[in-house]
Amino acid sequence: MNDSTRTVLLVLGVLLAALSVAKLVPAIVDLNSDAQSAHAFLGSAAVTGFVGVTLILMMRGGGRNLTARGAILVTGGSWAVLSVAAAVPLKLAVGDMSWTDALFEATSGMTTTGATVMTNLQDQPAGVLIWRSILQWIGGIGIIVTAMAIWPMLGIGGMQLFRLENSDKSDKALPRAGQIAAAVGIIYLVLTFICFLAYIATDMTPFDAAAHAMTTVATGGFSTHDGSIGAFTDGGSDIVALVFMILSALPFVLYLRAVQGRPDRLWVDPQVRGFLAVAGAAIAVLTVWILVHEPPASGQLPAWRLASVNAISIMTGTGYATADFSLWGGGAVGIFFCLMFIGGCAGSTTCSVKIFRYQIAAGAIGRHIERQARPHVVRPVRYGGKALDPDAVRSVMSFFFIFFATWVVAAALLSLIGLDPVTAISGAATSIANVGPGLGPIIGPAGTFKPLPDAAKWVMIVTMLIGRLEVFTMLVLLTPGFWRR
C-alpha cells in the first residue's frame, strides 16, 4: 500500500472518529426525552468511532504524501462515507424512515442541500433536528477547506485561480495553507456564534437559535419547523437569516484578511461585487413583481422583505422560505429558477456554479467576439486585474458544459422514473445546485421530497454529491479508468 492510499484511509479514519464524537451531541440532547433516539445515536457513535479509530491505528506512521488521484479519492470518498455513517442514526431514531430516506436526508445535510423527506419537524426528537443542523454545519466548513486546499491543487473548474499556497508572500493571508484553513475555521465558528446570538435576540429559543445558526452560516437551510424560517418572522428572524446568508456567501479568506488589516479586500474583490450586483438586481425585480401582481401566497410581510429573504436564500443555495413563492406567478418562478444556477463566491459555503465562473465566461465570450472582428488582436482574458492562464479559462468553460449536461441527464432520468416535467426539471436543478426546495406542489417550498419514488431519490443522492463536489470530483470517481492501475 503506497503512502497516498495510507493517507486517504487515515483521513477517512479521522473524519469518522470526529463524526462519532459529533453524534454524542444529539444523544445527550435526547437522553431524558427520547430513549430510542438517544440509543440510536449512542450505538451509531460507538460503531463509527470504532471504525475510525481502527483506520487511524492501522494507517499511522509512514509518509503523508497525497497525489492528485488520492486527493480526488479522499474528497469524494469522505463525503460519500460520511453521508452513509450519518444516515444510520436517522434510520434508527425515526421509526418510519426507510434506509433510502435516511441516506437522502443525510446526504442532503452533508452537501448542505437542504432538501428534506421529513414532515412534522416540530414533533420530531430534538436530537434528530440538531443532528440535521450539525451535518450541514460540518458540510459547510468542510467545503470551505476543500475549496482552499484540494480543488486549487487539482485545477477543478477554474479553482486554480484561488491557490493560496502558490501566491506571492504579499498576497498570502498566512504562511501556510493549513494555517489559513485553521484560521478560517475559527472565523466560521465565530460567525456561527454571532448568528446564534442574533437569533436569540429575535426571541428564538436557544435550541431553535443554535439549529438555525448552524444551517444559516452553512447555507444549508434545514429548519426545526415545517414552515422553515417563515415560522419565525414575527421576531425578525428572517432578517437575521438574510444578513448571515449574505455574509456566508462571501469568500471566508477575505474575512481573515480584513482581520489582518485589509478590509478593503471585501469590496474590491470582483466576486463580491458581482454577487452583490446580481443579488440586488434580483431583489429589485422581485420586489416590483410582488407590488404589481400582489400574489395571494405573499403573506403579510413587506414586498422587499419577502423578495430579499427568498431571493438570497435560493441564490446562495440555503433553501429557507418565508412564503410559497411557487405561487407568485410565472415571472417570479422563472427568476427563482435562474437564481438556482447562480451561487455565491468561491471559498464560501454556497453552492451551484458561483459568480466568478460567470465573470470569466463573460470575459472569454467577449474576447472571442472581439477576435471575430479583429483576428490579429491578441488579448488575454483578465480577472481581478490579472491575465488568466488559458488552462484556467478552459477549466471554467468545461465546468459549464459538464454541470449543465449533468443537470439535463438527471432531469431526463427523473422524467423516465415518472416525475412530471416541473418536478423532474426543478428536482434535478435543485439537487445539482444543492439549493433545497424545487418548484411545483410536490417539492416546492411548501412540500417535501418524501412522496418521490425511491429511484428518484437515489438519482438525487448521486446528483447532490456531484454538485457539491464541483462535478468533476465525483464524475472522475464514477469512471472505470480511475480504478485501474
The 10s digit of each residue's pLDDT in 376-428 is 777 888 888 888 888 889 999 999 999 999 999 999 999 999 999 999 999 99
What confidence score (pLDDT) does residue 485 get?
61
Q: Three cell numbers at 383? A: 480577472
Where is average pLDDT lowest: 68-77, 122-131, 268-277? 68-77
What confidence score (pLDDT) does residue 64 get?
62
Q: What are phi and psi of 426, to 5 degrees?
A: -75, -30
Dihedral angle, C-alpha 180, 182, 63, 468, nearest 10 °: -90
Residue given cell 434510520 in the structure block: 91
Arithmetic mean of pLDDT, 86-92 = 95
- Residues with Cβ within 8 Å of 82's Cβ and at least 6 positions away in sequence, in order, are 15, 16, 19, 110, 138
CA distance 257 to 71: 27
Proportion of the chain above pLDDT 70, given as a percent: 94
Q: What share of the chain is helix, strand, coil (3-state, %, to 5)?
A: 70, 0, 30
Annotated binding site for K(+): 112-113, 220, 318, 434-435
- Check pLDDT > 90 for residue 263: no
Q: Three cell numbers at 290? A: 410582488
More confident residue, 322 or 165: 322
- Helix (H) or strand (E) run with residue 51 in it: helix 35-59
Q: What are phi and psi of 386, to 5 degrees?
A: -120, 140
CA distance 409 to 428: 9
325-355 pLDDT, tens digit each: 988 999 999 999 999 999 999 989 999 999 9
Q: Three cell numbers at 153? A: 491543487
Q: Three cell numbers at 300? A: 403579510
Specify the 3-state DSSP secondary structure of 219.
coil
More confident residue, 155 or 78: 78
CA angle 459, 462, 463 (to 5 degrees): 80
What confidence score (pLDDT) does residue 152 get?
82
CA distance 223 to 115: 11
- Check pLDDT > 80 for residue 50: yes
Residue 413 neighbours by CB distance under 10 Å? 19
Q: Is 92 exposed, middle or buried (0-12, 13-18, 19+ CB in 10 A)?
A: middle
What confidence score (pLDDT) does residue 368 get?
87
Which residue, among 145, 146, 138, 135, has the nearest Cα to 184 in the 3D structure?
145
What confidence score (pLDDT) does residue 14 get?
92
Q: Most confidently modeled of 144-158, 169-183, 226-240, 250-264?
A: 226-240
Which residue, among 313, 182, 152, 308, has the nearest Cα to 252 in the 3D structure?
182
132-183 pLDDT, tens digit each: 999 999 999 999 888 887 888 777 888 888 776 444 344 444 446 667 788 8
- Given a contact cutoff of 8 angstroms between Cβ atoms, the answer to whether 351 and 467 are in contact is yes
Annotated binding site: 112-113, 220, 318, 434-435
Question: 99-110 and 126-149 are packed helices; what angle lies between their axes, rounded to 10 degrees?
Answer: 50
What confidence score (pLDDT) does residue 172 get?
45
- Given a contact cutoff of 8 angstroms between Cβ atoms, the answer to whether 293 and 224 are in contact is no
CA distance 27 to 214: 18
Which residue, among 414, 422, 419, has the nearest Cα to 459 in the 3D structure?
414
**Dihedral sign from CA coordinates of 138, 141, 145, 147:** positive
- Check pLDDT > 70 for residue 194: yes
CA distance 3 to 51: 20
What is the model's pTM?
0.93
Arithmetic mean of pLDDT, 461-482 = 88
